[in-house]
Structure formats: C-alpha cells, structure tokens
Structure 1
C-alpha cells in the first residue's frame, strides 16, 4: 500500500480509556465532574488573587498564571472526550488532532516553566529576603512569564510542523488515548520518524531538564538556607511558604515520570492511556485544593470572595 500524506487523511479515531460501552456513561459523569471542579477551582483562585490587594505579589502572580494554564490544558483535552462519549463517535479531524497536540505541548510546557519560575521566587524570598522586592520586581515577573510562553510556543510549533512532514498508510488511524498525544500520532506514521523521535528526546531533555534542574537547585539552596536559621519557628515558617508549591511540583513531575516509566515497562496501550489521565487531568484539578488548603492567605481571600458573591449576584 502506498503511503498517504496528511492531505489524504480526514480523521483519527480516539479509542478512549475503555471499549466497554456500559462504562461510557460512568466515564462521562466522572470526567465532566473533574472538568467542572478544575474550572471552578482554578477560576476561584484567579478571582481571589485579582480581588485581594494583599495577594498582588510575585508568588500569587505566578499562581494565577498557573491556574489559567490548568484551565486551558484541561479544556484542550476533556471537552472533546466528553463530546465523543456523548455522540458515541470516536473521530477527531486531522487538523483537530494536530491542533490538540500543539495546545497540549504548549500549555504543558508553559506549566513546566511556571513551576520553575515559582521555585526561583521562593528561593529569592527565603535566601535573599532583604532584596526580594528589588530582585522580583514586576518587570522580571512579566519577563519570566513571556519567556516561558515563548519557549512553550516554539516547542509546540516545532513538534507540530515536524508531524506535518509525516506520511500515513493505515486505513484506520487509531489512537489508543482519549486525546491526541504526540508520541501516539508519530507511531501511526509509516514514514521515517527518526528525526521526530530524536527531537522529542532532545526537546524534553533541554526544555524539560533545565526548568527541573532549576527547581531542584532552588530547593537545594532553600533547604541549606533554612537549616542555617537559628530559630525553629523561622524554619517552620520558611518551609510552610514552600509547602504548597513543592506539593504541586511533586504531583506534576511525579505523574509525568510515572507515566513515562509505565509506558516503558508495559505494552498495554490501555494502561498507558489510563496513566496519562494522571498528568493531563489530575494535577490540574488538585492544584487549587493544594494551594487553598495549605495557604492561610489564600484561604482568607477565598472566604472573602465567596462571602461577597451573593451581593455581586
């Protein structure tokens, strides 16, 4: 069979998490609930930060951007899955699939850079408290956001353009996931994918490794600085300011690494698809709870916002 280029492809099939039709209503309700919780939780974080003047600091500025990114990442994947379940149709157009790949990479990469920027913010706050306002000035914060967004878009665009060069020769282009994942799309190609695979590892090592290394370095310095503090109370207070961010970092990188290891040790595409939920859906839903439950200032701002909502309505 002759390879077909992308212009001959009309659609892909998203096989989802299970073939069992009896489980589809349960999955629909489950993911709809998770999506609504994600949107509502992160939207409350954004509104609380924007409405409370005391939260107009670099740490909460990055947090509001993280919440916005979580909303966008969840919106990129879950609604299409819900539509497919409801319509009992597994198809997604070629352009739609490629767009989904790009947005997942862009928002996932942006979240990766944001976590590194937040780690740097905590490093400056604890290790250089007297110079915190000078170093973490508004210009630097905006610059870090713009650079993070720029590199994320470059990575997403680069991978998307490299997918465009691939040819496909199967009659049914089945993706054993609930969204179009880059690696799964590349596997369906019958053309040479060596460059694409090399690019994946290179970009992951560079744009994933550098932010992760920066985060690890920041927390290494934080721990070293905190252990040198004479007061136990100051130690606990310093660690408490990092607790929420460290939990989010652990959840994000832990799920990504877990999925990667799982895909290596198992050949089951269904197990890999289920595991992918752990880094595309779960962290975005849990982040608002982590910050609202572990942060006293955030809890106060949320209570104030919720108490004022009836009067606004």
Structure 2
C-alpha cells in the first residue's frame, strides 16, 4: 500500500542521558522566553516609533516575526519532550511542524536577501532610494517571500509525509520533524526527495546568497569610495548587523541541507539543528539592536514609558 501505517512518531530527543533533561529544560526555557521577548520587542518598537517606519526596519520587524514563528513551531514541543518519558507527536502534528518550520525558514532565507538589496540601494543609490524601495514594492517583496516559502514547504511536506512509507519504525532520531531524519526513517526510495531537497533548497538559498554577495560587493566598493573615515564607518556600521545574521544563518543552512545524504550524521547534526532552529531566532534581535544606533535609541525612548 502507498500509505503509511504510522499513526504517530516518537523523538529520541536532544539527549539520551536523563540526568541532562532538567538542566536542558531550564536552559532552553530561558532561551525561548528571551527569543519571544526579543522578537516581540523588535516588532512593537518598529510599530510604535515613527522614526523606524522605513523599509529597513519594516523588513527587520518581518524578520522578527518569521524567527518567532518557526522557533515556536519547535521549541515548546522540545521543552515538553524534555519533561516527558514518551516524546510522541501525531502524524498530522509532525506534518504541521515540518510545514511551518520549512515555510518560515525559507521565508527567512529570502528575507535576508531582500534586506541585503535594501542596504545596497540605500548606500549605492541614495537619491533613488524612495523610488526604488517604495512602500508598495516593499510590501510585495515581503508577500513574495512568504508565497515562495509556503509553496516550497508544500513541495517538501506533501511527498515526505503522505507519499512515503514508514513501515520500519516510528522513532525519529531527532528532536523535531526535520526532513533528513524523516528520510532516514522511511522504507521507501527517498532519492527523489533528497534530490528535490538539494535542488530546490539550493535554488532558493544560493539565489538569495548570490543576491547578497552582489549587494555587499557593491556596498563595499561604494564604501571604499567614501573619502571621510566617519562616512565609511557610518555606512559600514549600517551593514555589519545584517552581515553577521547572514553569516550565521547561511552557514548552518548550507551545512545541514546542501550536502550529500551520505554525509548526514544525525547525532552530530543535532548541535547544528539546535543552532539554526532555536539559537538564530534568539540572536537576531540582539545582533540588530546592539549594532544599530537607531534601534538602540528607539529602545531607550520606549523604555522611558515604564
């Protein structure tokens, strides 16, 4: 039969050492609370402070929403499993978790490319910035990122969850429903799924990465043409936070997904999975707020009301 006999999956979790469950629960509970506060804080500050009603910060608030959503698809369930003896998730729940994570992770990938293009226009064509980055264009760029993310997730989720047979076991050697561990579990031929994962994932991520490289190559060349040291510092400072976020996100994504299936070692990859699924969502608000003077000033103004 071309249907799965599995009604639920069981995660092995973050660790097989029970004595680490409580310490890990405490650590990741604090991480998740900080993630929620940091990203919600960025969204609220951008909404209430009119000085931040610019494309750069609207893209930043959208990035915070994306980070918050895909982190929330994974972390609460992981925290629950750390305190549970049976780390089970229903077949439908696994499909939903995978879909939400893949769609919003893809959206983040595209959003980082859009933000790089925004900085390129701001620094290389400042006089045309209002025309090239109009509110209407920015809106449709964000919509396009979500549409591509949702469609990409459908391409991965439907074949992975509803066209593969899971007749060997229902134990996923991971802490959430990610694609490579699920392919390892299936008794069907997953070569086509892996090919789609690498090709489609590579098409989206590498296209965005090329856009980022193009943008920052031109930004660096433009900065080098600035005569004053203060002007160079100001221009460079507006980009360092985004460059840091891009390096962290793309480094882990390329490591996890754009490599041959034979190189997947699930035990070793858990650390990388924790990083891109949980830690990046924690880091982004701090990367952008600590390196950006306008955001820091907006935070100080906002805190005066409390």
TM-score by length of 2: 0.95
Whether contact under 8 Å (1:18, 1:270) holds in the other structure is no
1:304 aligns with 2:301: yes
Q: Distance in 1 between matches of 2:188 and 2:258?
A: 26
- How far does residue 266 in structure 1 lie from its aligned partner after superposition? 6.5
Q: Distance in 2 between matches of 1:105 and 1:216?
A: 24
Residue 163 of structure 2: aligned partner: 165
| Structure 2 unmatched runs, 5+ | none
Choose from 39, 43, 50 the match for 2:40: 43
Secondary structure of 1:281's partner?
Answer: helix
Q: How many residues align?
A: 305
Residue 11 of structure 1: aligned partner: 8
Choose from 253, 257, 276 the match for 1:256: 253
Choose from 134, 139, 144 the match for 1:137: 134
Whether contact under 8 Å (2:73, 2:97) holds in the other structure is yes
Secondary structure of 1:150's partner?
Answer: helix
- How far does residue 261 in structure 1 lie from its aligned partner after superposition? 8.4
**Residues 174 and 4 of structure 1: is their aligned pair in 2 closer, same or farther, counting only changes over 3 Å?**
farther
Q: Distance in 1 between matches of 2:192 and 2:267?
A: 27
Q: Distance in 2 between matches of 1:196 and 1:253?
A: 22
Whether contact under 8 Å (1:106, 1:155) holds in the other structure is yes
Q: Distance in 2 between matches of 1:65 and 1:114?
A: 8
- How far does residue 46 in structure 1 lie from its aligned partner after superposition? 0.7
Q: What RMSD, in angstroms, separates the aligned Cα atoms of the two structures?
A: 1.7
Structure 1, residues 228-255: CA drift from partner, whole Å, max 9, x if none? 2222221111101111111111111122
Q: Distance in 2 between matches of 1:200 and 1:246?
A: 26
Residue 212 of structure 1: aligned partner: 209
Query: 1:207-286 maps to which residues of 2 (within 5 A)?
Result: 207-259=204-256, 268-286=265-283
Q: Distance in 2 between matches of 1:149 and 1:56?
A: 21
Runs of 4+ in 1 over 3 A off after TM superposition: 257-268
Deviates more, 1:265-274 or 1:240-249: 265-274
Structure 1, residues 263-289: CA drift from partner, whole Å, max 9, x if none? 979764222112211111111101111
- How far does residue 73 in structure 1 lie from its aligned partner after superposition? 1.0
Residue 187 of structure 2: aligned partner: 190
Whether contact under 8 Å (1:12, 1:94) holds in the other structure is yes
Secondary structure of 2:73's partner?
Answer: helix
- How far does residue 256 in structure 1 lie from its aligned partner after superposition? 2.3
1:32 aligns with 2:29: yes
Secondary structure of 1:44's partner?
Answer: helix
Whether contact under 8 Å (2:198, 2:257) holds in the other structure is no
Q: Distance in 2 between matches of 1:196 and 1:148?
A: 23
Query: 1:120-131 maps to which residues of 2 (within 5 A)?
Result: 120-131=117-128
TM-score by length of 1: 0.93
Q: Distance in 2 between matches of 1:45 and 1:209?
A: 28
Whether contact under 8 Å (2:224, 2:232) holds in the other structure is yes
Secondary structure of 2:226's partner?
Answer: coil
- How far does residue 21 in structure 1 lie from its aligned partner after superposition? 0.7
Whether contact under 8 Å (2:71, 2:277) holds in the other structure is yes
- How far does residue 209 in structure 1 lie from its aligned partner after superposition? 1.1
Residue 57 of structure 1: aligned partner: 54
Q: Distance in 2 between matches of 1:24 and 1:82?
A: 9
Whether contact under 8 Å (2:11, 2:173) holds in the other structure is yes
